[in-house]
Structures are given as structure tokens and as C-alpha cells.
Structure 1
């Protein structure tokens, strides 16, 4: 890994004082300089106890604003001056979009009051009173909108504040990430060039980073400050707006928005107007394409909330153009992973507060978490992207006639949004670097056995590094450090709580202590090998049958069908190549053949007819083939668990009315089922019970119409679900037991065919009886609780969280929703389960 860094990253960017110079990738200064290691963009400064004079000098430079610390000559629009917030607020409040919405809401209220008789049309002064009432309503809405705006907007008002904030935050962050923040010099210089052009045209740069930690937005703000770029306005959830800290973040760039807007049209208009003002003024913006933080380590599906506002600004013509800059932030170790595991196992997330912030902040200072690597994809024009997509879509035949030039058409907007979201995710993956901790975590979780010797660990990390590079990925470089030293450093960062070390053996031996938490780091590499993993899992449907090699070979058509099924199943989990399944599958199979993992049999026309494991791979103990299987098996387990849990949602025998179950309770029941099956040996991976993957599976099942979900207009009533009638399994008419048959069971078995084989799962009949019996028992409890809650309604037996039956209005909404989903699936023309 240390010998050849040409494909991994650009030269290092060395910043000393006010000078910015380039040096070759992995450059190590001569020993005469006293510097023996790579220069990070940002490193922790002097400490008062060890270097008091240097410490005081650094503080004085920030106080006086010397050189780059002054933050005067920034690239971008003017920010951090007295009156900035008031200037932005006045622009928001005077915007035509907001004023039109306020007038519309006032007129709507007037109409209601007229119908209710509060305004008498027979009154001789009716029009005067109506005008007066309308004026009062408008004034009231103006005040509400102004309050919303003040709570929402960032407040770039004080340059001394941001200088002090930069110094404080950088010292705290760089004490935890003691090896600094690293960037690619070529990417940074390119970004500065783009920023200069954008500033000249008064265009905004919209940074779209991945989101794994709260450190993400802190590190990007620090980099922009250090590089002299105008700080972006960061879209943040209002859950972070708690006393003291909330105000600090708002003055450093946070824009607070609600997690859910509901039907609040005024609030929606305020957000849209603020986004318009930002983009029209050329102010930079930052929002996380995934919405919330990824608790699993891999990219989450895109969230379209803020992007939809940005897109509306351009499609409406209110904004000419904006620049999109996808950003990848990778860590040796993420601060929050231990908390993520707790959340994924079902413990409710704690609400942020000042006490926890201060407590966690003090503990972070004692950590040694390695380094942060930030990479910037080449920025591109959003207007150019829109024009390109509309031109392409207008040439592609569609199942439904659509005027792709109609910017108000919701079908057009949704298509553009979805394409935009996944384009950004693909760009983030393309520019990401793989850290040593991710290499180690991936190797430890993709080997058979309890542990791995030091020699074998080094060999497999070296193999994985080569495979990552061959796939076009990047591996973080560490100057001229030998690979064993890099691995030792990664093990030190992961710590003994994640990776254990057995002493007193013939060879140093390591083992995974916390596989659940370590899977976070393994998932940082899976996007590079998802095609190979799907092919390996499809081939496993034959390999697991045992017997001779001929029995384990698979016809190419069967391989295609299973890969088609699995890729559709995980459409919400992973990002695939845009070349299409047939092309991508053939390229993947040919690549595995070139790597001598599989062999391919062809007919006289040269078409692939059969695929199987190569003799060389069998001789090597299937280690490379198993690697790909181990990557995907936990996700297959989670999907299988989610599908099995649906079996238990079949209504009990004799249940006449449809009973709707609370979605969250059904998912909690699925998680309990998974924990039970894991400890009983029917589930191989404990991480399969994590609630994020289960939630994604339920979402996928809803998209395919396997389950139906109703969301009430009353926000106090949580979403409810049922199995779609055509998917419900049957029951024995005498005993009432679930039958291992039907459409849902066949679907579950198709997933199971690619599951990892286990010694407790070879008797299918025993498994089907035991597992179905368990899921049925948990399902019956859900039904009992729902009916009991319904019967106790209004009788003082407790509050009903979710009515078990739908109202007539909800039934109509359900009917429309089912038809809309079918139409959408037909329109999108996606692969279906």
C-alpha cells in the first residue's frame, strides 16, 4: 500500500503561515528539516503546558487576525459583517414568493370565516370589515413568518466571533483527531478555481457531503475557513438548536429547519424563500444528501427535502444556476459508532442537550482517533445537469406520456430529483478514500474462523488494497510507511474494544471483539464490490448444495435471474452502475473470470451459458469467493428476517375486519424475532437485527406492494400497516397455524436460497416449523395489543396510539395510494421483486 500511491490521491497540500505549496504524494521531507512525516492540511497547535510561548503566539495571531486568520479576502460573497442577518431577513420578508403565500393564506382564512358566518355578507360595511380583517390576518402572518425566519437563518454577523470559533473548534477537533485533516491538493486548488468563477458570476456552491458524524459539517467549515472560501450555510435539524450550543452554531453558519413540515404551508414558503435568497445572492450552501447520519457506515438512500427546494428555485427561473460539489468525509474512527450500535439495537435515541454535549466533549479530548480525510468531487453545474437530463428523457420511450419540457409537472420534477440524488451519491463513492481501519474491519469480518494471524492479516489487507485500486477506488496513503506499520496504526486507532489481541501464541493473533460495531467500518468498502457480492450470492444458491463441482455450476440464465432479484431487493441499500443489469453483470462475470475466481462456459456463438467456481479458487479454499459472500450475507440475512417477520402479520383465523398494526411496533417485533433467532442459531449475523436495515427492507416491501402503509393526517397517529391481501399466507383451517406456502413464503425462500448455510438450518421443514411458529406467536401478540387498545378506547384504559381500523376517509386515501404506487412503478420501469 505504501509503495505505489499514484492512483490514490494528489500531492499533499503544505500550508505554512500564508504560503501554500504542493509536494509529491506521500512526500516525506529530508531528515535535515526535522520533519519525518506527511504534512496534514490542519494539525493540532501548540499546548500551553508544553510550549507556552508558542501557544501564546498562536492565540495572538488569531486575536489580531494576522494573515489568513483575518478571513478578510475570502472567495465568495461578503459575509460576517454587522447587519448581515437583518439584510437577509429583509430580503426573505420582501420576497414575492413569501408575500404571495401570505396573501393566499389570508384569503383562504377569509373564505372559511365567510362560510362560518363570522363575516356577514349582508352587513352594509361588509367589504370594509372584510378588508380590515384581511389586513389583520396578513399582519399576523407577517409576524409569524418573521419569527420563523429569525429562528431559521444563519447569522454571519461577527468576524471576531468566527475567528475565535475557528480557533476553539479546530483545537478541540484536532485533539481528538490527532493526525489532522487531510485533503487532496489538486481537488482543493480546483475547488478554489471553481469558487472564484462562481463568485464572479454570483453563483452559489452547494456542498453535498455524506453524513457519518457530527464532525462532518465541522470539518468542512474549518476547511473553508482555512482555505479562504466563503463559509457555506449548513442545513441542520432544529434538534441541535438547544441552549447555548444552538446559538453558537447558528452564528457559525447553521440554518435550522424542522424535521417535518407537515401541512404548514407558511413554514414551507419561508424555507423556499430563504433558499431562493441564498442562491440568488450567490451564498454557499451545505446540506447532507442522506438527511441524517448513517448508522451503518455505508451511504444511505438520498433524501430529497432541501434538494427539492433548490431544484424549484432553478426550475421556476428564480435562480439561473448553482454549482454542485459532492464531498466525501472519511474517518479512521467515527466518534459516535458506539452510540450508533445502541440505537440500531432498538434503544431510543436521546434528545440532544447541553449537559450531554459538554460531557461528551470533554471525553472526546482524551481520544486518539487518527485522522480525517476530506475529498471534493469535481464541481458541476446544476443547470447543465437539468438540461442534459431533460434532453435525454425526452428521447427515451415512456410507459406514460409526459411533457418533459413542463417544469411544473410533478413527474418531471420527481424524476429529476431522484436522478440528481443518486448522481451525487455515486460521485461521493467515486471520490471516497478507504482508511486503514476500514481495510482491517473488512478483512476481519470476511474471514472464516475465530481470529487471524498477523502474517495473514497483512496478506489479506494487501490483497484488498490491490482489489480496491483495481476497481478504481482510492486507499488513503501514509507517505513511505511500510504496510505492517500502517496496519499497526489502524489497530491502535480501533482499540481493544473492537479488535482483540491474543498473547502467548506462536504468532500474534487478532479477532473481532465487537462485530456489530466493526461492521460500520466494513460497510465503508462494500460499495466497491457490490456487483461481485451479488454474483457470488447468486452463485451460492448452487455452491451451498454441496456435491461435486458440476452440481455447483449454475446456468447463466439462473444466475441472471437471482442477481436481478437480489439487486432489486437491495435497490434502497446500494448504488449500482447506470449501465443496466445485463451489461453490468457481464462485466462483473468477466472480471471474476480474469481474477480466476470463477470459470465461464460459452456456446459456439461465444455466449455465456454456465458459470462455476474455478479450480484455482477451490484449491485456495474459496478465500476470494468467500470474501464477496461475507460482504453481502449480513444484508441478505436482514432482508430474510424482515420477510419472515411479515409472515407473522397474517390476520388470525376468524379475524373478519382488517386490523392495522403500528409500523414501529411491527419493526420492533421483527427485531425481537431476529435477536431470538440469532441466539437460537437460526441467524448467522447479529448485525442483521439492526433497525435501519429492517426499516429499509420494510420500505422496499411497501414500494413493491407487499405491505400497505397508511399515514394519518393527524400527526399524533403513527403510520400503520397490513400485508396486502394478495400476499397473505394461508392458515390451517383446524389449528389456525400459519402454512409455509404461498406467495410471501416463496418470496422468503428465494431470499433464503442465497443465505449463508448453517449447521442448525439444514433441515428446511424443521426451520419452517420453528421459525414460522415463533413469528406467528409474536404477530398474534401485535394483533391482540391492537384489538385490546381499540376496545379500550374511551373507557379509561389508556391512550390509543394507533387505531386498529381505518376511517372511511383513510380507506379512500389507501385506494388512491395503491393505484398511485402501481402507476409509479409502471412509469419508472424499475426492476421489481
Structure 2
């Protein structure tokens, strides 16, 4: 049995300081060594500390400074990146690209046309041609200088090998002190051997490996660079937002591989072309490249929808023929504990994001005394971007794969290709992600009824969840010979008393969630594995919540399919679904539920499913498995229900004379305030349902389906940015009664009630009409305040009206909610 398990698990590697350790069957508790006592053995043994072992510490520093052995980083796999003049050569190559020179000429000519219209250049002047050419030369020179300055600010400057050796040593010291457990940075030896083999082939063909990791922490930048350095791969150039480019730290990161880009390009065509030129230059030279597929860090714990900005540049490099090919490598980085989660909670509750600065960066050293567990990094099997494009062409057109890449000129085709690529990368990341012990504990604690859970029950449910994760093709962090109880103890230690509390003085240790909002970050790390089960369970709950006998809770296959379809459409921007399609996913889930004795399926004479019941076994077990799946998705259902309810408040008052447009940010703030009120009054079950990111996703979904109209006004804020405006679509507008206010009926109310069918039944929800009147009263109160305080009469100044009409026409062919 053990031999079989060892064959099933790929060998894993620990990367800790100077040592890479192979674990043939995953993580095995290291043997005791004299003098170790209760210390973290591998960490202390491999990373000497000045206070305890000053001579060993100095020896390690001297080895890194002198570049002894692997520390020299002389024979990495990839293109040369460390030599004097690297930055100057890269700048010259970027500035000389044909697309940039063409753009500079175009901009100069456009400026000349403006000057001609303004009379600054007279076409009737005898010396017009000479003056025009002189002016064109001056404009091109100025644009060239501007492009050179922007390039210097943007590009990474990996010029000094001694600097990189020192940076590696310092970052490893910091990381292995924060992420303390014996594993340190954990990778799969099988994946490492594969990526090294791919890197050797890419070096031979002078092709770039494009690492596309998920993004949960600033530590993401560090961990992948450390792995590449320690395993002898050329360090990638890392796309980073210029919000991190502050004094001292910005320069350090730029010399360690960071490429600074603006958070928004706006209409700056020169800057946009410059970014494309730099990416072209990197990919043409075969330099490794890294950008985060989600753009910013996920504040919720689950993958965010892909951001297509940098991906579009990469895709254009290939489609244009300027770059022959590049290798895509999706990367999953998982943590026992993410340093920033406490800050994420404050942001999700509506506090403005604090700008990064040096003082906060230095104060972050306090976290190094914490025990944050370990880091697991997994590499998906790399794939050819050119091969992916050709496969998609062949799939959609039937044209052979040898089709010329330049033939794709249709904008819609490119957008579809880009979207498919983005979601494929997310799917690949999910496929190799490892579920950490803290995620297991957080998921169990937030999917059980009751205030707390005993230790024995916690162990049982964690083992059950491990089995479910593996049955879904997921990966659980290797425990090896460590018993589940030990793993749980370590996980609880990492989470800390601020997240998980212990009730003292009881016959059995009993644990409870202290900060459910922050703990939901770790629960959300597992939801992608069970999204179809969660959707089906939530749809069944529309009947199960009725109570009574089994016959009263039975749901027909048609009713179940319709509600699953509705929820799937509702959350299609929130989750990544299996690619087999709704009908197949539904049937696969029902058959799996039947096999696990969660449901009984009723069939007709042809074997088709006609109705679904909870099984007697599941009822006897207290619905613990069925409830588990419901608990996973209920907070998201609550959040989207809250978003839909808040739309009711955007119904203009009877005496309102404006055009109905409101400040979109104030509307979102009002939605969040409504949610906090409903939670504290008992009409909302989950406080995490008021988080800003999920509500924003709900708003985006409502806009896509034309419930909500969003535009930009010429009225600007103090920082000269367009002011987003929002308005409830007229066809979704509820009626207003002079006495009762907003009437709980109509298209929007029916839509809200359809979401509510799958909401968790709470103590205050059985009074039906009272709930609707109370919720609508609060919604109307907050809505009227918006019209009084924030309504803006910007009808004739509003931009984008025609754009919205075109958008509605384009959306007409899509499946509506």
C-alpha cells in the first residue's frame, strides 16, 4: 500500500538556503539531530543566524559574496543577462524597433497637421517644405528622447551578478524566516526536471519561457525568482505595477528583474507602443518573462478573472510574426498563510487601499518573526503559444495548423483567442494548485453548522476533505508520515489565535472561527474544485429549504437544470467551470452524488433522470456532505443577492427631476453599507458577502446583462479622471407607490427572488413579506439619499450613449439571466 502511494506521488524538493533536499514520497518528518531540540530543524541547519552561529553565518555570507559553487550563478540555462552594458543594449534594441519608429513618425506627422490647421505652418510659404521637414525632425527627436527616458524608467536592469547573488541571499534569509516550517519552498522534482528540459530546448531555439503565476501576495515576486536562481534557470523579467516603484525599493527590484509599467495606459499611444516594443525585444531575444495573469493580487483567496493587457501584447508579438514562438508556463503559488490577508480584509470592507511606501516596507520586517508555514510552487506542463493559436484556428475553422499566423486580422477573432488563452491559463493553474493545511482547516471550520468543532471531528472532516480533493483530481500538500493530527496542529499554529480560537476547560479541545471574514480567504482556495457540486447543491436547496418530508423536498430534473443554468450564468465571471458544458457537468455531478449516496435519482423507463431527492443516508448523516457544498457558495449567492437588492434603490423618487444618473462609486458604497446593515439586523447570513470585490463582480455581471447602465461623464474628479456614472436600465425599473415606496414586484424583483431561492434560510427569513418590506425600506432610504446628495444632471454632458446602445445590440444574442 505504501509502495503504491509512493509511486502515485511525485518526488518533492525542499529549497532552503544552500540545500535542495529530495523527498521521494512527499514530505517526511526529518529525523531528530543532537542539539536540535524543538527548533525548526532544516531551517536552522541550512540558514545560520548571526546571534546563534556567528561563524557559520559569516561563512555563508562569504560564500555568496565570492560566488562559490552554485552561488556563482555562472551556468544558468537561458540567454545571457548579467554583463556590463546590458541595460544600454536593451534600451537601444527597444528604441530601434520598427513599430516604435513608425509610431514616432506618425505622431510627428499628426502634430504637424494640427500646427498646419492652427496656422503655425503655412503651406503657401515658399519655404514650406524645408520648414515642415525641419519641424518634423525636431518633433521626432523630442519623441525619441521621451521614448528613451520612458524606456530607462521601464526596463529591468539585471547587470550585476554580485548584486543578484547578494539579493538572492538576502531574500532567501527573509523568506525562510517568515515561512518557517521544515519544507520552506516546496516544489515537485518531476516538474522541475520538466521545466529544466523545456528551458534547455528554449535556449537552443532562442525562445522565451513566459511564466504566468497566480497572484496572492507580494512574496510571489520573490519565490519564483529564488526557485529560478537555485535551480539554474535564467531569471525572468517580471512585469510589476509602478506603484511599487518607490525610493530605494524600486531601484532594488528593477535591478533584480522588475519591469515597471503604469497601472493604466489611457490614450498614450507612444507608451503603449513602447511596452509592445519592449516585450517584442524580450521575446525575440529569448529572455524569460513573467507576468501575473490576474493583474493585481487576489484579495479573496480564489483566482480572479484574467487581465488581458500584457497577454494581448504577448499574443500580438506572435500573431504579427515579429516573434516566432514563446513557451507558456502557468504557475501556482500557494501559502500556508498570506502575509497581507489582514490588510485585504480592511480593503474589502471599503477602506481605501494604502499607497505603498518605504516606511511600510521596512515595518513589514515584523512579520519575519511570525510562523507562516510554508510555500508550495507548482509548474504546469509548458506549452507552445504558437501551437495553441494554431490549434484554436484549426478547431474553429477546420483549416490545417500550418495556416499563416498573419491571416488573423479580425478583431473579434483576436479577442476570442485572447479570452480563451486567459481562461486556459487559469484552468492550468487550478489543475496544479496544492491545497494547503490552512485551507483545509479554514474550509472545514466555515462549512460546519454550529459554533465550534471538537478536535476528533475536525480531524475526521479534514481527512474527508482530503479524500474529496483527491477524488476531484486536486492535490493536497504532502503530509508523508506525519499524522493528520500533527498537520492540523501546525496549521492551527500558522493561522493563529486571531483567526481560530480554542475553548478552554472542555473535555475535548474545541475550535471555532474567530475572524470568519479573514478565514474565508483560505476557504476560497478550495472552492474551484467543487464549483459544480456547489451549484447543484444550491439549486437543490431551493426545495430542500422547505423542510417537511422527502416528497416535499424533491426537485424535478427540469427545475434543477434551470436553476443551475441561472446560477452558472450569474457566476460566470466569478468561477472557472469545467469545459464539458452545462448538461454534461450537471449529469456528471448527479451521478457522483448518487455514487456517494448523497442523492437518490429517479429515472423514467428510458433511464433519463426525472427527479432528485436527498438520500436517506445523507439525511441520517445530518446532511453534512450536502451542506458542505452549500456552505462553499452561499456567501457568493448572498453577495450577488445583495447587489441585486441594492439596484432596487436606484429607482428615482417620485419628485425627482434629474436624468437618473448617479455616482457609481457612491452607489457601490451604498450597496456595501446596505449589506452591513442587513447583516447586523439578521437578514444577511455572511459578513464576507459585503466584500467589495465580489460586489464589484456582481455589478460587472449586471452591466453585462444590461440591468445596469454605466457611463463616463465629462464632469471630472479632482484628479482629472472621468467620473463613472450608473443608472438602472428603464426596462428593469420597479414601480414606486406614493405610500409604500418601491413595490416588491416586476422584472428586477423576480430576478432578485430567483437568486434568493438558493440563499441560506435564516432565522429572520420565514416571515416573507416582513423581510421584503424591511429590506426594501432600507434600500429605498439609502437610494433616496444618493439621489439627494449624489445625483448629477449630466445628461447632455454624458459620454458613451451610443457606445452603450451598440453594446446592448451586441449583447442581444447572448444568453440572458
TM-score band by shorter chain is over 0.9
How much does 1:17 deviate?
A: 9.9
Cross-structure match for 1:624: 625
Distance change in 2, residues 1:26/1:650 (3 Å): same
Q: Which shows bigger deviation, 647-656 or 591-600?
A: 647-656
CA contact (8 A) 1:2 1:480 kept: no
Give matches, 1:797-812, under 5 Å: 804-807=793-796, 810=799
CA distance in 1, matches of 2:133, 2:648: 60
Cα drift, residue 30 of structure 1 = 8.3
| Residue in structure 2 matched with residue 731 of structure 1 by the alignment | 736
1:213/1:293 contact within 8 Å kept = yes
Task: Check if 1:832 corresponds to 2:816.
Answer: yes
- Report the CA distance shift for 1:463/1:285 in structure 2 as closer, same or farther (over 3 A): same
Does residue 635 of the first structure (1) align with residue 629 of the second (2)?
A: no
Quick check: 2:87–2:159 contact (8 Å CA) kept in 1? yes
Q: Is the 8 A contact 1:44 1:175 kept in 2?
A: no
Match of 2:116?
114
Count residues with an aligned counterpart.
805
For 1:236, what is the secondary structure of its paired residue? strand
Say if 2:712 and 2:798, in contact at 8 Å, map to a contact too: no
Give per-residue Cα distances to partners, 1:55-98, cap 9 Å, x unaligned.
Answer: 11111110110111101101000011111000000000011000
**Quick check: 1:2–1:479 contact (8 Å CA) kept in 2?**
no
Change (3 A) 1:472 1:146: same
Contact 1:2 1:481 in 2 (8 A): no
2:337 to 333, 336, 355: 333
Q: Distance in 1 between matches of 2:208 and 2:587?
A: 41
In structure 2, the residue matched to 1:139 is 141
Contact 1:659-1:786 at 8 Å conserved across structures: no
1:10 to 2:7 alignment: no
Superposed displacement of residue 269, structure 1: 0.5
Q: Which residue of 2 aligns with 1:473?
A: 474
Q: In the aligned structure 2, how far is the partner of 1:825 from the partner of 1:340? A: 37
**Aligned equivalents of 1:728 and 1:327: distance in 2?**
45
Q: In the alignment, does 2:369 pair up with 1:366?
A: yes
RMSD between superposed Cα atoms in Å? 2.3
Q: 1:505 and 2:496 equivalent?
A: no
Q: Distance in 1 between matches of 2:8 and 2:534?
A: 23
Pick which of 23-32 and 441-450 moved more. 23-32
- The two structures have a TM-score, normalised by structure 2, of 0.95
Match of 1:71 in 2: 73
In 1: Cα distance, 2:317 partner to 2:26 partner: 43
Per-residue deviation, 1:659: 2.5
1:214-234 Cα distance to aligned partner (Å, 9 max, x none): 001110001100011000000
Secondary structure at the counterpart of residue 118 of structure 1: coil
Residues 8, 477 of structure 1: 8 Å contact kept: no
State the Cα distance separating 1:465 from its structure 2 match.
0.5
**Residue aligning to 1:537:** 538
- What SS class does the counterpart of residue 213 from structure 1 fall into? coil
Q: Distance in 2 between matches of 1:2 and 1:491?
A: 28
- 1:46 is displaced (CA, Å) by 0.5
User: Are the equivalent residues in 1 in contact too, given 2:158–2:255 (CA < 8 A)?
Assistant: yes
Answer whether contact 1:41 1:181 (CA < 8 A) is retained: no
1:572 partnered with 2:556: no
8 A contact 1:393–1:404 mirrored in 2: no
Name which of 141, 152, 155 aligns with 1:153.
155
Cα distance 1:155–1:16, how it changes in 2: closer, same or farther (>3 A)? closer
User: How far off its partner does 1:28 sit?
Assistant: 4.2
Partner of 2:790: 786
Alignment partner of 1:823 out of 810, 814, 817: 810
Q: Distance in 2 between matches of 1:672 and 1:44?
A: 51
Q: CA deviation at 1:765?
A: 0.8
Q: CA deviation at 1:19?
A: 8.7
SS at match of 1:632: helix
Q: Is the 8 A contact 1:404 1:412 kept in 2?
A: no
Distance apart, 1:820 and its partner CA: 2.9
Q: Which residue of 2 aligns with 1:392?
A: 395
Judged with a 3 Å threshold, the aligned counterparts in structure 2 of structure 1 residues 758 and 90 are, in CA distance, closer, same or farther, namely same
Range that drifts further, 658-667 or 31-40: 31-40
- TM-score, normalization: structure 1? 0.94
Q: Which residue of 2 aligns with 1:494?
A: 495
What residue is the counterpart of 1:798 in the other structure?
A: none
In structure 2, stretches of 5+ residues that fail to align are none
What aligned pairs does 1:122-137 form with structure 2 within 5 A after superposition?
Answer: 122-137=124-139
Counterparts in 2 of 1:636-655, with a 5 A limit? 636-655=637-656
Cα distance in 1 for partners of 2:264, 2:16 equals 45
Compute the displacement of 1:768 (Å): 1.1
* CA offsets 1:146-177 (integer angstroms, 9 cap, x no match): 11111000001111100001101110111000
Alpha-carbon contact 2:15-2:186 (below 8 Å) kept: no
- Per the alignment, in what secondary structure is the counterpart of residue 736 of structure 2? coil
Q: Contact conserved, 1:640 with 1:748, CA < 8 A, in 2?
A: yes
- In the alignment, is the contact (CA less than 8 A) between 2:499 and 2:515 conserved in 1? yes
Offset from partner CA, 1:484-540 (integer Å, 9 cap, x none): 010011001100000000111111100000000000000000000000000000000
Q: Distance in 1 between matches of 2:610 and 2:458?
A: 37
Residue 783 of structure 1: CA displacement?
1.0
Q: Distance in 2 between matches of 1:230 and 1:96?
A: 27
Distance 2:259 2:7 in 1: 38
Q: Distance in 2 between matches of 1:633 and 1:10?
A: 35
Structure 1 residues 58 and 259, CA gap change in structure 2 (3 angstroms): same
* 2:279 alignment partner in structure 1: 275
Distance 1:669 1:84, change over 3 A: same
User: Where in structure 1 are there 5+ consecutive unaligned residues?
Assistant: 397-402, 791-803
Is contact 1:210-1:328 (8 Å) kept?
yes
Aligned partners of 2:584, 2:30: CA distance in 1, in Å?
Answer: 50
Instruction: Summarize the Cα distance change of 1:5–1:108 in structure 2 as closer, same or farther, 3 Å threshold.
Output: farther
Cα offset for 1:822?
3.3
Structure 2 matches for 1:250-265, cutoff 5 A? 250-265=254-269
Q: Is the 8 A contact 1:154 1:253 kept in 2?
A: yes
Q: Report the CA distance shift for 1:475/1:41 in structure 2 as closer, same or farther (over 3 A).
A: farther
Partners of 2:410 and 2:811 lie apart in 1 by 14
Change (3 A) 1:3 1:49: farther
Equivalents in 1 of 2:503, 2:444: separation in Å? 17
Residues 1:434 and 1:631: Cα distance change in structure 2 (over 3 Å):
same
Q: 1:189 to 1:183 in 2, by over 3 A?
A: same
Matched, 1:349 2:353: yes
